[in-house]
């Protein structure tokens, strides 16, 4: 099992896909020292995991404000109106 500790922002799903969906796990109790390990049946080596973490640029696709508002039946104009803008 390979194991890396990092303080980088990690998108675990994205990193796992970058490594060919090998099954990664993480312990994020301490965000300054996130521990990433491979699953027991993973073929990812220690060097591959270290390189992947080093080169990883996390992308998070959070919903926009408009998307969040529309999920509860509101719009940007509704928000502006409620704020008196």
Q: Could you give the CA distance from residue 76 to residue 70 in angstroms, rounded to a whole number?
A: 9
- Give the domain ranges of the chain: 3-83
pLDDT in tens, 46-79: 999 999 999 999 988 878 888 889 999 999 899 8
pLDDT (mean) for 23-40: 87
pLDDT at 31 over 80: no
pTM higher than 0.85, yes or no? no
* Of the candidates 57, 64, 77, the residue with the CA atom closest to the CA atom of residue 9: 57
* Of the candidates 20, 22, 6, the residue with the CA atom closest to the CA atom of residue 58: 6
Triad 17, 14, 19: Cα angle to 5°: 35
Partners of residue 6 on adjacent β-strands: 34
């Amino acid at each position: 099992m390979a194991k890396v500790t990092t303080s980088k922002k990690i998108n675990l799903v994205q990193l796992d896909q970058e490594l060919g969906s090998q099954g990664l796990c993480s312990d994020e109790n301490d965000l300054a020292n996130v521990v990433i390990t491979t699953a027991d049946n993973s073929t990812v080596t220690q060097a591959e995991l270290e390189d992947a973490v080093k080169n990883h640029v996390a992308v998070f696709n959070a919903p926009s404000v408009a998307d969040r508002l529309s999920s509860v039946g509101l719009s940007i104009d509704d928000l502006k109106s409620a704020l008196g803008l």
